[in-house]
Structure 1
Amino acid sequence: MSLKEIQNISFDSFLKDFKETLKSVFYEKDDIQKFSQVRGFPSLVFRDIMAKKPLSVAIPEEHGGRGVKVKECLGVLEAASYESLPLSLTFGINIALFLEPVAKYAKEEVKAPIFNRFLEERNMGGLMITEPSFGSDALSMETSNTYADGKYHIQGYKHWQGLTGLADYWLITSRKKGADGKLARDIDFFIADNQDPEQRVIVEEYYNNAGLYAIPYGNNRLDLKVPENQKLEGGSTGIKLMLDLLHRSRMQFPGMAMGFIKRMMDEAIEHCHNRIVGGKNLLALDKVKEQIANIQSAFTVCSAMCARSSETSGIDKELATCQVEANSMKSVITDMMQAAAQTLVQLSGSSGYKEENIGARGIMDSRAFMIFEGSNEMLYTQISEAVMKLMKRKKMTNLFEFLNQYDLTAKSSDFFKETLSFNLNMDLPQRKMVDLGKIIGRVVSANFVIDLGFKGFRSDLVSECITSLKHEITASVSSLTFQESTTLITDYRQGSSWLEFS
C-alpha cells in the first residue's frame, strides 16, 4: 500500500484490509498456533503485516501518516489483539511509548527522518525507563547524562524493555549528572538511533520471558552519545512529560485489551455451545452463564474505555494530572483481561491445559499487563491516595457523597449508593488502599459505561455490566471493611511441621 493510498483510504477500509492480512498470514500462509510457542514472529509473517503500514495511524499527516487519531490507533490495537496479544503489544509499544511522544515533544527537524523510516523501512521504537535496581521507582534511576561538544553522553543500564535488540529507535530516560557527580531530581528524555554506532544500545542479556514469546526482553547497557536536538522538550518538567506519556499509554491499554477480551468471549461462547454434557450443552449451566457474563461485562467496560480514551487521550491533550482516570483504565481492564483468560481455560476443561490453547497462552500473555507500566496494586494505591487527598481538601468522609459529586463518578455513583454510603477511615493500611482503589476504579469504569450507553450502545449490555460491577464492588467493600488482618510470620519453621504431630 502506497503512502498516498494510506492517507486517502477510509479508516473502515484500512482496518478491513489489515484484518484480512492478519487472517491470511496467521491461518493461511502460516499457523499461529505453531509459532505462538516459539520466540519472535516469523520474518515473512511480520513482513506481510508491516507492509500494511499499521503504524501509520500514529504518524502525523504532514509526515505521511494518518494523523495520530486515537480512535484509529485503538482500532488497530483491537484488530491485532483479537488474533495475537503479543502483536498488539508490539504495536502498543511503538504507538504510545515512542511515536506519540515523538510527535508531541520532538524537535521538528528530528521528526521527519524518523517517521519516514517507520513508513518506508518498517522501523520500530520503544521506551527505556525501568532499571535493574529500581523497577517502578523511576525517580531514583541512576542512568545519567552529561553534555559536551553538542552531544549528550548517556550511561547506565535499563532492562525489561519490550523489543530489546529489535527496536531501531529508543526513547531513553536519564538524569543530568552535575560536576559534583550528583544526579538531578528531574528526568530527561532522549531519542537514540540504534543504527548509529555512537547511539547503539548494547544488549547484554536476553530474558527467558514466560509469556509474550514474540517480544524480546532483556538487560541493556547504555554508553552512547546523542545529538542535542534529539532531546525531547515541551513539558514544564521531565517528570510531567513522563506522567503525560505514561498516562496516555495507560489510557490506550483498552485498545490492546479490546480484541483480546472479545476473543476470549467468542471462544468461550462457541466452546460452551458445542460442548455437550449430560445431554445438554454447557450454556445450560447457571454457573457457566455467570462466568461468560463476566467476560461480557469486561467487553462492555473495555468498549466504554475505548470510546472515552478516543475523546480524551490525544496528543493535543495534557494528561500529566489525569492519574485517577489513567490508573483506573489500566488496572481495571488488565484485571479483567486476566480473569477472562482464566475463565476460558476453566470452561475449556482439559483442552484448556494445552499450550496451544488461546486461553492458556492468554493467561501468561495477559499476566504481564498487570505488572508493567506500574503494577496494579501500586496503581490502585495511587488512585486511593489521590481521591483521599481530594476528600480531605473538601473535608468529606462519606465515600458515596464524595463520588456523587466527583466528575469521574457523578453519573454512576447512584447505582452503588447503598454499598458505598459509609464513612471512610482516612488512615488506611496499604492493603486496604488497594481495596479502595479497586472500588473507585470500578465506579469510574461504570461512569464510562453509562456515557457509552447515552451514545446508543446496547442497553442490555450496559445493564448487565452495571450489575456485574456492582457484584465486584460489593466484594471489595467487604474486604475493605473487614476489621481483622493477617500478619506475616517469617520465622515460621520451628514448631510448624505436621509430621511432628502425627
Structure 2
Amino acid sequence: MRDFFLTHEDRAFRAEVRTFMSRELAPKVNLIERDQDFSAQLALVRVLGQAGYLKLMFPDLYRGALPKPGLTHAVIVSEEAAYLNYAFETTIATALSCAYPIHRFARESLRERYLLPILEGRSLGSVCMTEPSVGSDSAGMETRIRFDEEAGEWVVSGVKRYISNASKANVYIVWGVTDPDLPPQKGLTAVLIPAHAKGLTFPRLYDFVGRRGSIVGEVAMDEVRVPGENLLGEVNGGFNIMLSAFNFERVILGGSGLGVARAAFDIACQHAQSRVSFGQKLGQKQLIWDMIAQMSWKIDAAELLTHRAAKMYDSGIGGKDLMREASQAKLVATETAVFCADRTVQILGGDGVTRQYGKAEQLYRDARTLPIVGGTSEMCKYLIASREMPSLRLNL
C-alpha cells in the first residue's frame, strides 16, 4: 500500500484535492503549457486561495475542515498539482515559499499587508537568493543591504536570477550582505521589497526547456529603498531564515517530484499493458517490466522519504534537525521524477518524443529542472553527508 505515512484523514484530503485539481486545473493545462497563458494561472491561484488550500501551512489562519493542517497537506496539494502541470505547481510553491518566512519572521504590520493576499490567492510572492555568480554558495552573495539611519530605510542593490514569479509577484523576499566583515553566512539579512518599489526592475525572463507557462527571470535592485519595518527577523540573521525556508522548499519539492514521477509512471503502465509488439503486450517483455518495477520502487521510496520529512516538520522538528531528511526527500523524489520521465519516453518510443501523442515529452522536459531547483542534487548529498559525519568539515 502506498501512502504508508498518511492517516485516513490525510488520504481523504488527498481525494478531495485530486477532485479539485481535476475540476479546476485539468481543463487549463493546455492554456498553461501550450499557450503559456499566465492569466490562466492567476485565475487558478485565486480559486486555490478561495478554497483555503494556500493556508494549510498556517494553522492560525486556516479555517478548513482539517483539525491539524500542516506541511503534509501542503505536500499533497503540491503533488496533485504537479501530476497535472508542474509549471502551475511552481507558481504556487514559490508563493508559499515567500509566505512561509513572512508568517514566521515578519512584523505583524507586514503580515497583514503581504501575507493574507498571498494566502487568499489575490497576489503572488517570490524569493530571491540565486545571483549571476552565486548558486548554492550563499556566502558569496554580492547583493548588498545597508541601513540608512537618517531615513530609517533599508537600501538594497544587486541582481538576482532564476527567480520564479519574477515580474509577476507582488512582493519579493531578497537576501543580501549587511556586514561583509563577518564570517561567511553570518552577515546575511533578508528584507521584503514590494513590486512597486522604485529601482526594482526585471531585466529579462528566461525561456526554459520545461515548465512552460511558469515565469522565471532576473530581479535587479538599484538603490531600492524600503521602510525599516520591512526587515525579516533580525539584522544578520538571514541565513537562519534561509535554512528554514530551504527545508520547507525541499520537502515541497519532494511533492513536486512525486507528482511528475507518478504522471510518467501511469503513462508507462498504461502503454505497456495496451501496446502489442511482436505478438505480445509490451509489458510482458522482461526489459519493459524491469523498467516498470524500478519506477515502482523508486516512487515508493520517494514517497516514504517525503511524507516522513513532512510529518517530522508537522511534529515540530525543524532547522538543522530536519536538514538531512528534507534533503533526502528532495534528492530522491526529484531524481525519481527524472528516471520515471526518461524510462517512460523509452517505453513509448517515438510516441514519447512527439507532442501529438500525449504528454510524455512534456514530463521529460519538466522533470529535468527538478534536481537543480531548490538546491541541486549534489548540494543535497553534501547536506546529508555533513549530518552523517558531524566530526568532519566536508570540502565543497
TM over 0.5: yes
How far does residue 15 in structure 1 lie from its aligned partner after superposition?
5.5
Question: 1:47 corresponds to which residue?
Answer: 43
How far does residue 240 in structure 1 lie from its aligned partner after superposition?
2.4
Asked if the contact 2:309–2:329 (Cα under 8 Å) also holds between the matched residues in 1, the reply is: no
How far does residue 318 in structure 1 lie from its aligned partner after superposition?
3.0
Indicate the SS of the match to 1:123.
coil
Q: Which residues of structure 2 form unaligned runs of 5+?
A: 1-8
Indicate the SS of the match to 2:232.
coil
Question: 1:232 corresponds to which residue?
Answer: 232
Q: Distance in 1 between matches of 2:101 and 2:173?
A: 9
2:266 aligned with 1:266: yes
Question: 1:24 corresponds to which residue?
Answer: 23
User: Of residues 164, 167, 172 in structure 1, which corresponds to 2:166?
Assistant: 164
Asked if the contact 1:254–1:306 (Cα under 8 Å) also holds between the matched residues in 2, the reply is: yes
Question: 2:5 corresponds to which residue?
Answer: none
How far does residue 349 in structure 1 lie from its aligned partner after superposition?
1.0
Q: Write the deviation string for residues 103-144 of structure 1: whole angstroms up to 9, x where unpaired.
A: 211122221222331245621111101111222221111111
Aligned partner letter, 2:215 = P
How far does residue 214 in structure 1 lie from its aligned partner after superposition?
1.5
Asked if the contact 2:81–2:259 (Cα under 8 Å) also holds between the matched residues in 1, the reply is: yes
Q: Distance in 1 between matches of 2:310 and 2:184?
A: 38
Q: Which residues of structure 1 form unaligned runs of 5+?
A: 1-9, 394-426, 431-502
2:113 aligned with 1:113: yes
Say if 1:102 and 1:316 are closer, same or farther in 2 by CA, change over 3 A.
farther
2:342 aligned with 1:342: yes
1:55-94 equivalences in 2 (<5 Å) = 55-62=54-61, 69-94=70-95
1:91-170 equivalences in 2 (<5 Å) = 91-95=92-96, 97-120=97-120, 122-148=122-148, 149-170=151-172
Question: 1:220 corresponds to which residue?
Answer: 219
Say if 1:225 and 1:15 are closer, same or farther in 2 by CA, change over 3 A.
farther
1:65-464 equivalences in 2 (<5 Å) = 69-95=70-96, 97-120=97-120, 122-148=122-148, 149-176=151-178, 185-194=186-195, 196-198=196-198, 201-223=200-222, 224-233=224-233, 237-314=237-314, 316-355=316-355, 357-390=358-391
Aligned partner letter, 2:34 = Q
User: What is the root-mean-square deviation of aligned Cα atoms in Å?
Assistant: 3.0
How far does residue 315 in structure 1 lie from its aligned partner after superposition?
9.4
Q: Distance in 2 between matches of 1:206 and 1:315?
A: 39
Q: Distance in 2 between matches of 1:158 and 1:56?
A: 28
Aligned partner letter, 1:108 = E
Q: Distance in 2 between matches of 1:177 and 1:12?
A: 48
Say if 1:15 and 1:290 are closer, same or farther in 2 by CA, change over 3 A.
closer
How far does residue 11 in structure 1 lie from its aligned partner after superposition?
7.5
Indicate the SS of the match to 1:206.
coil
Say if 1:45 and 1:183 are closer, same or farther in 2 by CA, change over 3 A.
closer
How far does residue 100 in structure 1 lie from its aligned partner after superposition?
1.6
Corresponding residue pairs, total? 378
